[in-house]
């Protein structure tokens, strides 16, 4: 598949060659006009594609930032969950110790 820049180069080359030919021939003039029109259309399409590409890059950056925020939030939540579990474990250990002490006193 040829890129638009390759097509543009080939059209420019063809246009320059056609300009050097006898321009009094109506067929050549029409061919030259058609090539000029095609070149202009390709330039318009190229600009549209460049704009769409720029928009896609902006969307990508925005989504990337949102994903980073989500990942940071998830990591923070996971950290809080681990800390909470550790505190529960500590409380369970203290409870077990207290129960042992109560059992000792009851004996």
* pLDDT for residue 24: 63
- Looking at the structure of the chain, the number of domains it has is 1
pLDDT tens for each residue of 7-63: 888 888 877 776 776 556 777 778 888 989 998 999 999 999 999 999 999 999 999
| Among 62, 46, 49, 52, CA closest to 7 | 46
Higher pLDDT, 70 or 4: 70
* pLDDT for residue 22: 59
| Among 5, 8, 24, CA closest to 16 | 8
Whether the CB-CB separation of 46 and 4 falls below 8 Å is answered with yes
Handedness of CA 15, 21, 24, 27 (dihedral sign): negative
Containing structural domain, residue 44: 4-106
């Amino acid at each position: 598949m040829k890129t638009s820049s390759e097509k543009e180069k080939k059209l420019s080359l063809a246009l320059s060659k056609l300009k050097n030919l006898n321009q009094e021939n109506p067929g050549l003039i029409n061919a030259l006009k058609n090539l000029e029109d095609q070149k202009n259309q390709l330039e318009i399409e190229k600009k549209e594609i460049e704009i769409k590409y720029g928009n896609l890059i902006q969307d990508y950056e925005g989504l990337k930032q949102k994903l980073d925020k989500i990942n940071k939030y998830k990591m923070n939540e996971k950290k809080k969950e681990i800390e909470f579990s550790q505190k529960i474990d500590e409380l369970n250990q203290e409870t077990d110790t207290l129960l042992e002490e109560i059992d000792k006193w009851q004996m």
